[in-house]
Structure formats: C-alpha cells, structure tokens
C-alpha cells in the first residue's frame, strides 16, 4: 500500500535539503512533495500550485501539510485550503518534525498524530549543555 503523502510548503525551497537530511537517517522516503514559494510568486500563483499538488496526491483521511513559518504565506495558504480539503497543517517545519511525520506515513494521519509530530519537534529544541561535575 502506498504511504500517506506529505506536502512541504517552504520559502525558497529548503524543504528538499531537509528531506535529504531525513533520508540520511531513515533511508528511502516516498510520497513527499514540496511546493516552493519563490520570491517572484504572488499569492494566487502559489495558492494554485499548492492546490494542483493537493489534487495530484491521494490520501485516506487527512492530508498532512508541513509549513515553515506560522503566519507566513506558506501557512496562510495551508489554512486557506483547509476550507476545501481535509488538511492537517503544522507549522515550524524542522528535521525532527519531518522525521516523525515520515515514521507515521504507513497509516492515515490523525489529529493525535499531528500533536505527536508537533511534540517531537518541540522536544528536539533545547539548549545543549554539558553536564557539570562536582
């Protein structure tokens, strides 16, 4: 059975580099698509490209869309399209978030999955300190 799709919405296309990093960890990945917001894009052009990508993939319950910046064009487009499609959208894309999403691709995404993916992302963000010795 085909894995559930993931759509990445990023400014400038850095999602592909992020995906390459995830592949170093888990190996081959499938059914992950990026729609790049380019500097020359207007909102309508980007919205149409995202809509076309959504229409090109098949999902069972909720389509997972990961965006880079909350409040930015990428997340605003995901929110706008959630009126017309059953979308689970998460902002703050990073390696931990994408890695956890990839690990959950075998089954349809749920709201609980979204919460777990977000939590994995948050737990990955820490100040790193060496332990102190007494």
Predicted confidence (pLDDT) per residue in 51-87, tens digit: 999 999 999 999 999 999 999 999 999 999 999 999 9
- Which pLDDT value is given to residue 2? 87
What's domain 6-124's architecture?
3-Layer(aba) Sandwich (3.40)
- Residues 106-132 have a mean pLDDT of 94
Query: What is d(CA 123, CA 129) in angstroms, rounded to the nearest whole number?
Result: 15
Question: Helical H runs in 5-134?
Answer: 15-26, 43-56, 73-81, 95-103, 111-124
- Which pLDDT value is given to residue 55? 97
- Which pLDDT value is given to residue 51? 98
- Please give the mean pLDDT across all residues of the chain: 95
Predicted confidence (pLDDT) per residue in 7-32, tens digit: 999 999 899 999 999 999 999 999 99
User: Could you state, in order of their start, the residue ranges of all structural domains in the chain?
Assistant: 6-124
Q: 3-state DSSP call for residue 86? A: coil
């Amino acid at each position: 059975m085909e894995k559930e799709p993931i759509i990445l919405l990023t400014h400038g296309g850095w999602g592909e580099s992020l995906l390459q990093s995830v592949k170093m960890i888990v190996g081959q990945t499938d059914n992950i698509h990026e729609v790049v917001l380019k500097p020359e894009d207007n909102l309508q052009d980007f919205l149409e490209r995202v809509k076309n990508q959504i229409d090109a993939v098949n999902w069972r319950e909720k389509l997972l869309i990961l965006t880079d910046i909350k409040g930015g064009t990428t997340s605003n487009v995901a929110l706008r399209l959630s009126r017309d499609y059953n979308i689970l959208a998460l902002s703050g894309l990073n390696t931990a978030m994408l890695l956890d999403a990839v690990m959950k691709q075998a089954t349809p995404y749920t709201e609980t999955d979204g919460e777990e993916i977000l939590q994995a992302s948050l737990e990955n963000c820490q100040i790193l300190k060496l332990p102190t010795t007494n």
